[in-house]
């Protein structure tokens, strides 16, 4: 079984795959101050909930955009699972090509997402990842990652609204029945959610136009992605598990190979 660990700026998500099937998911908040033993506790607790032991895990792969916690996390994996994890990086062998002005600056999460999209659909795709930031990654019909758009995430947009105003309360991110709010909370929800739907649609349409690729597939992922994906025809599919599936593909490609940073 393969343990996949996706380290984001807000959450660390773990998934266990038995072959192609995801048999368990576990999520905790990202904190750079945790010790290796704390991470070890979370990992072993996750395994225990699935009635698994360390010996049942035959491989581990980590995708991270938070370098500060990697020492503690990798130390936990080695100490508690007795294996050295594979780390997603630009130096890995992959079946996509990174063709941007600064390919080494492309984050591990984006490599994972585009790897999944290319291997799954074998066509040009825009992958919209609704995380702390929302990213739009374009991979062309030849499997070449060429362009990216990054905007503040839905949560950041809401936090900016509430933190920079004296009387506006913190609210739940849900789509109200109408854009015409009848109270402050509904008005905030309408502005944030409907406004975000509009910005997502405009970015996707503009990307397709400038790329001259009107039929490229648009795939959404990320915790808040489902809220937006269900409200627009510009997104063709939503899959919350892209990170786990993309890491599985990269692990299979690189298993048994030796790289300095793996």
Positions at the binding site for ATP:
6-13, 132
3-state secondary structure of 24: strand
Distance CA 33, CA 248 (A): 28
pLDDT tens column, 91-121: 899 999 998 888 888 899 999 999 999 999 9
The reported pTM is 0.90
pLDDT 10s digits, 226-242? 889 999 999 999 999 99
Question: Of 91, 109, 140, 213, which is the active-site residue?
Answer: 109
**Binding residue positions for substrate:** 107-110, 184
The domains found in the chain, sorted by start residue, are: 2-87 (3.30.420.40), 97-247 (3.30.420.40)
SS3 235: coil
Give 48's contacts (C-beta < 8 A, 6+ positions apart).
none
Q: Assess contact for 148 and 110: CB atoms under 8 A.
A: yes
Distances (CA, A) of 143 to 37, 47, 95, 155: 40, 35, 8, 31
Considering Cα of 91, then 60, then 145, then 199, what sign does the dihedral take? negative
Give yes or no: 140 in active site.
no
- pLDDT for 258: 58
Binding region for K(+): 129
Instruction: Please tell me what DSSP assigns to residue 191.
Output: I
- The stretch 188-192 carries a mean pLDDT of 89
């Amino acid at each position: 079984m393969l343990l996949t660990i996706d380290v984001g700026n807000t959450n660390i998500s773990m998934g266990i795959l038995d072959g192609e099937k995801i048999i368990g998911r576990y999520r905790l908040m990202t904190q750079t101050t945790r010790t290796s033993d704390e991470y070890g506790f979370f990992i072993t607790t996750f395994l225990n909930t699935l009635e698994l032991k360390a010996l049942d895990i035959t491989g581990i792969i980590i995708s991270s955009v938070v370098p500060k916690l990697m020492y503690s996390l990798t130390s936990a994996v080695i100490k508690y699972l007795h294996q050295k994890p594979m780390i997603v990086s630009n130096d890995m062998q992959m079946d996509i090509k990174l063709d941007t002005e600064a390919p080494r600056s492309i984050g591990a999460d984006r490599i994972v997402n585009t790897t999944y999209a290319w291997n799954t659909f074998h066509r040009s795709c825009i992958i919209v990842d609704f995380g702390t930031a929302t990213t739009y990654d374009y991979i062309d019909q030849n499997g070449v990652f060429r362009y990216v758009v990054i905007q503040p995430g839905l949560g950041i947009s809401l936090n900016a609204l509430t933190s920079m105003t004296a009387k506006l309360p913190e609210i739940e991110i849900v789509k109200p029945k109408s854009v015409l709010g009848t109270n402050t909370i509904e008005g905030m929800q309408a502005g944030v959610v409907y406004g975000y739907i509009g910005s997502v649609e405009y970015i996707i349409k503009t990307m397709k136009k400038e790329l001259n690729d009107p039929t490229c597939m648009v795939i959404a992922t990320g915790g808040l992605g489902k809220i937006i994906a269900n409200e627009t025809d510009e997104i063709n599919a939503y899959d919350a598990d892209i990170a786990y599936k993309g890491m599985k593909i990269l692990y299979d490609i690189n298993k048994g190979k030796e790289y300095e940073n793996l």
